[in-house]
Chains A and B, each alone.
Chain A
Amino acid sequence: MQTENSINDDYGPRRLTVELANICNLHCSYCFRAEDNLYSSHAEFFPLELLRRVVNEAQTTANITMVGFTGGEPTLHPFFAETLQAIGDAGLKVSFVTNGWHFDRVWPAIQANRASVSHVAFSLDGVTRETHDRWRGKGSFDRLVRAFSRCYMSKLPFTIKIVIRRDLVDQLEQVAIFAARMGAASLHFGHVMPTSNGVADDSALSLDEQRVAEEEIAILARIFKMKIGIDVGYYNIDERRPPCAPLAATNMNIDFRGRLSLCCNLSGFRGSAADELDVVADLNVESFASAYARFMEVAAAQLENRKTALAAFRSQATTPDLYTGSPCLFCLQSFGKIPWHSKSI
C-alpha cells in the first residue's frame, strides 16, 4: 500500500535549547521529565550570567541563530524577562514552550522583547475544557485559550504541540481544526515518550498504530495551510541523512544545571539509569567551544550506533522494530533512559 509519511526533514535554525527551570506547576502523568526535578527537589533556575556567556560562545562556535527555552516550565524563571532580553541583546531570536498557565503574568515581558521573540509554543492535551483539563487541571484550558487570544490579537506567531496518546489518536483532525481556528502558525504532534511499561501500554501507540497516525498527519499537513508535522518519536529508517536536529548537530540542549547534552528529550528522563551518557559537559566549568567539539563526536557516534542497529535488521531482511526505527526511542534505549524496557525484552 502506498502511503504518505509525515517526517519533517527540515532541522530548523541552528539553535540552543535551554532548560530555564527544573520545576513545573502542572502534573501531567505522561510527562517524561524526572519527577524529583519537577516536584521534589528545590527549584533551580538557569543562571542569567551563564546564559549570556554560553549564548555568546555558541554564536561564535556553532553559528546558532536562535535559542529555545524549555523546562520544567520556563515562565517560572524569576528573571524570565531578563532571559528573553539576554537573547535579544545577543541579536538572536528566542522562543519558548509553555503550558500557558502563567502567560498573563509574563505577557508584559514578551511585549517588551517582542522584536526578538519569534514565536511561542503551547502544550495542548485536548480540544475541549474537559479533555485538556483532565490532564492538566481545572482552568488550564481557559488560560491556554487566553494565551492564544493574546498572541492572535498581537500577531505573535504561536505553535501548538500535542502528544498523540492512545485516547487522542482518533481526534487528530479535530486537533488540526482547533489549532487552525485558533490561528496557530503550526501544529506539532509528538509521540508519547514512554517512562514505564504502564505508560507504554496505556498511552503509547504500537508500531502499526503509529504508522496509521503518521499517515493521517501527513494527509492533514497536505490539507491545511498551517504547517503540520511530527517533532518527536516518529518512525524514520531513512539513513541518507541524520533523522533529527540533535544528531545533525544543529540543536544542542543545555539542562537547568548548565550541562550541555545531546537532546532535550533525553535530558532528565523519568526513571532513567544513573549514568547520563548523553551529558557532554558542564558549561559552568568548561567553555562551549571545547564542549561543542565533544557534542559533535557524541552525535556522530550515536548516528553510527543507529546505522549498525538498522543494518542488523537489514541483514536479516526484517523491518526494524519501533525502538530501533524511531530515532527518539532508539536514543532512549541506547542511552539507558528506559531500563524498564530493556528488562522487558
Chain B
Amino acid sequence: MSSSNLTPGKHVVVTDFDGGEGILVDLNTKRYYQLNETAMAVWKGLAQGKTTGEIAADLTSNYEVALDKASLSVQRIVDNFQTYKLVSAE
C-alpha cells in the first residue's frame, strides 16, 4: 500500500476546476470522469510520482483525517483509476 509505480495515462487529459475538483477525459474511450477534491489530490499526487502512502500522508496534512482512513480512500480511488484504465504502471 505504501508504494506505487502508477502514473496517469498519457491518453488522459485533466482539467482543474476552482475548489479543487477536476475532470478527466480518456482519449481512448472518449469518456469524462468527474473527480472530487480528494480524487483530484490523488491524481495530482500520482502525476508528481508520489506513492499512495505519500499521497495519504499529504491528505492528513491538508484535511482533518486519520492516516488509516486517508489510506483507504486513496487506495479505493487508485483502484477506480485502474479499473477504468486511467493509470498505468511505469
A: residues with CB less than 8 A from B are 128-129, 142, 145-146, 148-150, 152-153, 177-178, 181-183
User: Once bound together, how far apart are the Cα atoms of A152 and B34, in whole Å?
Assistant: 10
- Asked if B67 lies at the interface with its beta carbon under 8 angstroms from chain A, I say no
User: Which residues of A lie under 8 Å from residue B23 when comparing CB positions?
Assistant: 149, 152-153
- Other-chain contact of B30, A142, A150, A178 (Cβ < 8 Å): A178
- Asked if B13 lies at the interface with its beta carbon under 8 angstroms from chain A, I say yes
User: Once bound together, how far apart are the Cα atoms of A129 and B25, in whole Å?
Assistant: 13
User: Which residues of A lie under 8 Å from residue B15 when comparing CB positions?
Assistant: 146, 149-150, 153
Known: A146-B13, A146-B15, A148-B25. A153 touches B34 (CB 8 A): yes
With both chains docked as a complex, state the minimum distance between the C-beta of B68 and any C-beta of chain A, in angstroms: 32
User: Once bound together, how far apart are the Cα atoms of A177 and B30, in whole Å?
Assistant: 9
* Additional 10 contacts, C-beta under 8 A, given A149-B15, A152-B23, A181-B31: A145-B25, A148-B25, A150-B15, A150-B17, A153-B17, A153-B32, A178-B30, A182-B25, A182-B30, A183-B32
User: Which residues of A lie under 8 Å from residue B31 when comparing CB positions?
Assistant: 181
- Asked if B72 lies at the interface with its beta carbon under 8 angstroms from chain A, I say no
Q: Are B34 and A145 in touch, CB under 8 angstroms?
A: no
- Other-chain contact of A152, B13, B27, B32 (Cβ < 8 Å): B32
User: Once bound together, how far apart are the Cα atoms of A153 and B32, in whole Å?
Assistant: 9
With both chains docked as a complex, state the minimum distance between the C-beta of A255 and any C-beta of chain B, in angstroms: 34
Closest to A147 in B: B15
Known: A181-B31, A182-B30, A183-B32. A142 touches B17 (CB 8 A): no
With both chains docked as a complex, state the minimum distance between the C-beta of A138 and any C-beta of chain B, in angstroms: 14
Secondary structure dominating the interface of A: helix
User: Once bound together, how far apart are the Cα atoms of A320 and B32, in whole Å?
Assistant: 46
User: Once bound together, how far apart are the Cα atoms of A128 and B31, in whole Å?
Assistant: 14
User: Which residues of B lie under 8 Å from residue A183 when comparing CB positions?
Assistant: 32
Q: Are A145 and B27 in touch, CB under 8 angstroms?
A: yes
- Other-chain contact of A128, B13, B17, B27, B32 (Cβ < 8 Å): B27
Per-residue CB contact flags for chain B residues 4-19 toward chain A (1 = under 8 Å, else 0) read 0000000001010100
Per-residue CB contact flags for chain B residues 40-58 toward chain A (1 = under 8 Å, else 0) read 0000000000000000000
Closest to B24 in A: A149
Q: List 7 A-B contacts (CB under 8 A).
A: A149-B25, A149-B32, A150-B15, A150-B17, A178-B30, A182-B30, A183-B32
With both chains docked as a complex, state the minimum distance between the C-beta of A179 and any C-beta of chain B, in angstroms: 10
User: Which residues of A lie under 8 Å from residue B34 when comparing CB positions?
Assistant: 153
Closest to B30 in A: A181
Closest to A128 in B: B27
With both chains docked as a complex, state the minimum distance between the C-beta of B32 and any C-beta of chain A, in angstroms: 6
User: Once bound together, how far apart are the Cα atoms of A145 and B14, in whole Å?
Assistant: 9
User: Once bound together, how far apart are the Cα atoms of A178 and B17, in whole Å?
Assistant: 23
User: Which residues of B lie under 8 Å from residue A152 when comparing CB positions?
Assistant: 23, 32
Q: Are B27 and A149 in touch, CB under 8 angstroms?
A: no
User: Which residues of A lie under 8 Å from residue B25 when comparing CB positions?
Assistant: 145, 148-149, 182
User: Once bound together, how far apart are the Cα atoms of A181 and B28, in whole Å?
Assistant: 11
Q: Are A145 and B17 in touch, CB under 8 angstroms?
A: no
User: Once bound together, how far apart are the Cα atoms of A71 and B32, in whole Å?
Assistant: 30
User: Once bound together, how far apart are the Cα atoms of A182 and B13, in whole Å?
Assistant: 12
User: Once bound together, how far apart are the Cα atoms of A153 and B21, in whole Å?
Assistant: 10
Q: Are A129 and B27 in touch, CB under 8 angstroms?
A: yes
With both chains docked as a complex, state the minimum distance between the C-beta of B26 and any C-beta of chain A, in angstroms: 10
With both chains docked as a complex, state the minimum distance between the C-beta of A162 and any C-beta of chain B, in angstroms: 15
User: Once bound together, how far apart are the Cα atoms of A182 and B23, in whole Å?
Assistant: 12
User: Which residues of B lie under 8 Å from residue A177 when comparing CB positions?
Assistant: 30
User: Which residues of A lie under 8 Å from residue B13 when comparing CB positions?
Assistant: 142, 145-146, 149
User: Once bound together, how far apart are the Cα atoms of A81 and B25, in whole Å?
Assistant: 28
User: Which residues of A lie under 8 Å from residue B32 when comparing CB positions?
Assistant: 149, 152-153, 183
With both chains docked as a complex, state the minimum distance between the C-beta of A244 and any C-beta of chain B, in angstroms: 32
Most chain A CB neighbours (cut-off 10 Å) among B15, B17, B27, B31: B15
With both chains docked as a complex, state the minimum distance between the C-beta of A314 and any C-beta of chain B, in angstroms: 46
User: Once bound together, how far apart are the Cα atoms of A177 and B31, in whole Å?
Assistant: 12
